[in-house]
A and B are shown apart, each in its own frame.
Chain A
Amino acid sequence: GQQVMQIPQYQHVQEGEDFTTYCNSSTTLSNIQWYKQRPGGHPVFLIQLVKSGEVKKQKRLTFQFGEAKKNSSLHITATQTTDVGTYFCAPQGAQKLVFGQGTRLTINP
């Protein structure tokens, strides 16, 4: 199945600093989804990327899908305390979603 490596595992930033998490695969992905899970909560869908080189923005969040469709990134500009949580990338196969290890973001206000 499609597996991804996500780095870093943890990231602690000062509020206002930027944050980036990376998702890498050894195989070409048909698509990739990103989810956010707040502490104690459940994953919430953020975005889906399908096209090679695709870039999508949601306010302060920028999502990229690599040209070779083997990597993806999520960048948050000027983090806020509400951004705290774990961010997961997840390629979706024919049926199922397989989550990366996640990047846990903590923020110092």
Chain B
Amino acid sequence: GAVVSQHPSWVICKSGTSVKIECRSLDFQATTMFWYRQFPKQSLMLMATSNEGSKATYEQGVEKDKFLINHASLTLSTLTVTSAHPEDSSFYICSARTGGGLPGPQHFGDGTRLSIL
């Protein structure tokens, strides 16, 4: 089945640090990937849609300068949390769909737990 790999799994860093999270589709090409954030005991909230070769589409209320997304190839999207602060601590998960037709299942990475001290 389709596999999405996300790295790193855990990040603990000081306030003010920038953190980069990678999301890779291992056995398929993904022109579109999605980035979600999940706070404890809450649902997944879509942050942005990452499009290969073009700018990401951000959801309302998500700061594009704070959460930089780069989708440089058909198998890799990165999310950089710039100048992270404790309120950015969360579980960040990426996903991608196989196939070009709609609709279709999304395959999720294992997620990245980000803790900002």
Q: Is the CB of A43 within 8 A of B44?
A: yes
Contacts of A59 in B (CB 8 A): none
Contact check, B107 vs A94: say whether CB atoms are below 8 A apart: no
Question: Knowing A42-B109, A42-B110 touch, does A96 contact B104 (C-beta < 8 A)?
Answer: no
CB < 8 Å A-B pair total: 51
Whether the Cβ atoms of B106 and A45 lie closer than 8 Å is yes
Main SS of chain A's interface residues? loop
B105 touches A45 (CB 8 A): yes
A38 to B102, CA, bound (A): 26
A-B contacts, 19 of them at CB < 8 A, read: A30-B103, A31-B103, A41-B110, A41-B111, A42-B108, A42-B111, A43-B44, A44-B108, A45-B107, A50-B103, A88-B43, A92-B102, A92-B103, A96-B46, A97-B106, A98-B46, A99-B44, A99-B45, A104-B41
Residues of B within 8 A of A (CB): 32, 34, 36, 41-46, 49, 93, 95, 102-111
Give residues in A with beta carbon < 8 Å to B: 30-31, 33, 41-45, 48, 50, 88, 92, 94-102, 104
